[in-house]
């Protein structure tokens, strides 16, 4: 309990008749970099907003740094950094002014770091907010959310509007942050390549529940695609324990399996007298397999 920076249990949220979160259970340890993966409309933004107290939880419990999200204390809020999907700023301010204005609220705002980030991310400090492009706004939003060096970062689709170089810069900055393992990051995305590098844990969300939560490496180790070649045509009732998706083409089959180990492979070899090739899947493939399995 002490080590979990975010903990939810049976979290539900509905908007009128529409139930978006249907019982989310999550326990994120301190120092983890969690990628929240899910298709559009799965409820990622809603989950993050519930955790911050921007939305009221309909049922279930949640704690953020040990506190109820609806009534976060000032101290906790100073340790959280949130970057929303769409950043709302006053169009009549300039970039530098917005940063100074936001910085005035926090006791430990790192002005030098903000200036560095401005340079690094190629933002003009004297540009008007109303003239910024979406990508530039997103970058500014990131600076505003990170400038006070929070312990917990909550990023809602941070790289969605960034170009590849922007994305790379963002990842670099996030990697720098996580070097000391004291900082936790939860970021939601539907671009899997961002996660591969940086995430230590991955939470896959579908239809308002968390389908999988665990370490990324374990996920990659356990979800594999198996090609089965047998000398004779495979019967229609061919199945593999723990299969997510099975595709039979005459004497060969492609099976996506959730938990692969030697037992399973030997079992297939023995039972159907077939040769088995195990294929590694990257995160995108894993996500698609898990998603299609619904």
Partner 1 sequence: MLSKSALRQISGISKTYLMRPLMLCALLILGIGCAIFCFSSRSLRFRDSYSTPFDQNASDTFHDAQAFVRWSEDGTVHPEITAIDFTRMGSAIRTKPNDLGPRQAEVLPFGDLEQTLAQFPNLAKVQFDRDQLTQVAPTTLAALTSLRAISVLDVKVTAAHIAALSQVPSLEWISLQTIDLPASLEPLSTLPNLSSVCISNGPLSMSNGPMASPYRPETLVELNALPSLRELILRPQYLPGLGYFAGSKTPDPACDPVLKENCREVFADSQTLQRLWLGSNQSDAERNQLAVVAKTLPHVRVRPATYDSRKVLESRMAGGILMFATMVIMLQLTSQFSGPSAQLIPRFAPVHLGFFAAFITIATCAYALAISGRDLSLLPALATFASCVAVVAILHAMWSVVGMTGRQYAYWLPALIVVCVMYHPIAMNFAPPWWSAILDQFLMGVHPVVAMLLLATAALVLAGCLLLFSWQHRFWAEHAIAPAMTVGDLGARMSSLAWNRRDDRKSAAQIGRWNRRLQDTLAQPRATHRWIARMWRLGNSPAYIGAIMIIVAITFSFGSFFRVNGASAMDHMMVHHSVLMLLALPMLLIAMQCSGRRDTLARDILYPVARERWIGSVFLAVWTQLGSLLALAFIIANLQIGFLMQVPTPSHVLRGLVAAGALSVLGTGVILSVTLHRGIAWAIALGLVGLISTICVTMIIVDTGLGPSGAAAESVRQALHHPAVLPGIWIVAGVIFSLAYRQWQRTEFACV
Partner 2 sequence: MSLPPQLFRVATSSGVPIFRQIMDQVRALIACGDLAAGEMLPSTRELARELEVNMMTVSKAYSRLEADGVVERVRGLGMRVVEIRDTRSATERKRDFQELVAPALHRARQLGLSDDQILSVVKKALKDSSHEQ
With CB under 8 A as the contact rule, the residue among 73, 131, 165, 261 that binds partner 1 is 73
Please count the residues of this chain forming the interface with partner 1, following the rule CB under 8 A. 35
Output the smallest distance, CB 190 to partner 2, in A: 15
Output the smallest distance, CB 55 to partner 1, in A: 5
137 binds partner 2 (CB under 8 A): no
With CB under 8 A as the contact rule, the residue among 10, 14, 63, 106 that binds partner 1 is 106
153 binds partner 1 (CB under 8 A): no
193 binds partner 2 (CB under 8 A): yes
Interface map 111-130 toward partner 1 (x if CB under 8 A): -x--x---x------x----
Question: Are 61 and 11 within 8 A, CB to CB?
Answer: yes
| Interaction partner, residue 196 (partner 2, partner 1, none; CB < 5-8 Å by kind) | partner 2
| Interaction partner, residue 105 (partner 2, partner 1, none; CB < 5-8 Å by kind) | partner 1
| Interaction partner, residue 263 (partner 2, partner 1, none; CB < 5-8 Å by kind) | none
With CB under 8 A as the contact rule, the residue among 56, 111, 130, 172 that binds partner 2 is 172
Nearer to partner 2, 181 or 229 (CB): 181
With CB under 8 A as the contact rule, the residue among 103, 285, 288, 291 that binds partner 2 is 285
56 binds partner 2 (CB under 8 A): no
Cα separation, 35 vs 67, in Å, equals: 22
Provide the binding-site residues for partner 1, judged by CB under 8 A.
49, 52-56, 70-75, 77-78, 80, 82, 84, 88-93, 96-97, 100-101, 104-107, 112, 115, 119, 126
């Amino acid at each position: 309990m002490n080590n979990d920076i975010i903990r939810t249990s049976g979290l539900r949220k509905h908007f009128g008749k529409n139930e978006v979160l249907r019982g989310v259970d999550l326990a994120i340890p301190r120092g983890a970099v969690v990628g929240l993966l899910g298709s559009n409309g799965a409820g990622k933004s809603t989950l993050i907003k519930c955790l911050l107290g921007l939305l009221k939880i309909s049922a279930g419990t949640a704690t953020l740094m040990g506190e109820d999200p609806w009534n976060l204390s000032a101290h906790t809020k100073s340790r959280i950094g949130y970057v929303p999907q769409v950043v709302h700023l006053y169009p009549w301010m300039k970039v530098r002014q917005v940063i100074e204005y936001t910085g005035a609220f926090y006791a430990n705002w790192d002005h030098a770091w903000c200036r560095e980030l401005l340079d690094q991310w190629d933002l003009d400090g004297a540009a008007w907010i109303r003239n910024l492009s979406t990508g530039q706004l997103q970058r500014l939003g990131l600076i505003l959310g990170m400038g006070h060096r929070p312990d917990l970062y909550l990023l809602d689709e941070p790289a969605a509007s960034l170009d590849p170089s922007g994305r790379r810069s963002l990842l670099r900055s996030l990697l720098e942050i996580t070097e000391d393992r004291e900082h936790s990051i939860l970021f939601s995305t539907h671009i899997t390549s961002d996660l591969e590098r940086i995430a230590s844990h991955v939470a896959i969300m579908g239809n308002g529940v968390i389908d999988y939560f665990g370490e990324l490496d374990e996920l990659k180790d356990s979800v594999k695609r198996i090609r089965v070649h047998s000398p004779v045509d495979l019967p229609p009732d061919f199945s593999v324990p723990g299969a997510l998706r099975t595709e039979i083409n005459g004497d060969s089959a492609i099976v996506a399996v959730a938990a692969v180990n030697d037992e399973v492979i030997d079992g297939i070899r023995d039972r159907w007298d077939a040769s088995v090739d195990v294929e590694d899947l990257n995160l995108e493939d894993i996500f698609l397999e898990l998603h299609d399995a619904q």
